[in-house]
């Protein structure tokens, strides 16, 4: 094969590679843009699906007498990406073994707020402490004895649910506080 034919073949291959590159590069760019827009749509959809989820920053049990936990304090904030949450519209479902009780804002105490005017969690720095009296606000059967557990579901205004299980220690001292 002479040099001219060899150069012609190499030149032809080079032209084919350039033409294919000109076709493939826009396809790759469009695919990348499509994937980016789908990612943004998915993130927006996730945020819509979780508009008002709460998170618990701290859970504290309080024992006043008889080695039982009579009161639970939940330091509550907005979960990341959540919208504004009006804590007065939150409902709790509390269950312990075969007991079940639904309570609303009139049956628990709200206090120790930070950056939450009227108990509304507006930003990531906002929190509210919710106190649930397991003896008076609900029924005495919900007090926690040593080693028992209780499940608390938080239902927000738009139906999002956050669940926390609190396990009492094996040794509860009267007149004490401890973190779950």
Distances (CA, A) of 5 to 9, 17, 18, 70, 80: 6, 18, 20, 95, 67
What pLDDT digit, counting tens, does each position of 48-72 carry? 555 677 888 899 999 987 888 989 9
Q: Distance between CA atoms of 162 and 145, rounded to whole angstroms? A: 24
Element (H, E) at 13: helix 3-49
Q: Distance between CA atoms of 165 and 148, rounded to whole angstroms? A: 11
Helix (H, G, I), strand (E, B) or coil at 70: coil
CATH of domain 54-179: 2.60.40
Helix (H, G, I), strand (E, B) or coil at 141: helix
Retrieve residue 148's tokens: 């028992």
Lowest-confidence pick of 41-45, 90-94, 152-156, 176-180? 41-45
Q: What is the pTM assigned to this prediction?
A: 0.65
What pLDDT digit, counting tens, does each position of 139-160 carry? 667 888 899 999 999 898 888 8
């Amino acid at each position: 094969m002479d040099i001219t034919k060899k150069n012609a073949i190499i030149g032809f291959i080079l032209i084919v590679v350039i033409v294919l590159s000109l076709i493939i590069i826009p396809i790759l760019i469009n695919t990348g843009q499509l994937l980016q827009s789908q990612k943004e749509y998915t993130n927006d959809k996730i945020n819509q699906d979780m508009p008002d989820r709460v998170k618990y920053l701290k859970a504290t049990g309080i024992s006043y007498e008889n080695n039982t936990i009579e009161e639970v304090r939940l330091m509550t904030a907005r979960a990341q990406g959540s919208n504004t949450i009006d804590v007065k519209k939150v409902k709790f479902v509390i269950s312990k073994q075969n007991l079940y009780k639904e309570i609303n804002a009139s049956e628990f105490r709200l206090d120790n707020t930070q950056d939450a005017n009227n108990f509304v969690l507006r930003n990531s720095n906002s929190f509210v402490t919710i106190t649930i009296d397991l003896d008076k606000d609900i029924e005495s059967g919900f007090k926690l004895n040593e080693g028992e557990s209780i499940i608390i579901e938080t239902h927000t205004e738009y139906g999002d649910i956050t669940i926390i299980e609190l396990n009492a220690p094996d040794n509860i001292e009267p007149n004490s506080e401890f973190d779950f």
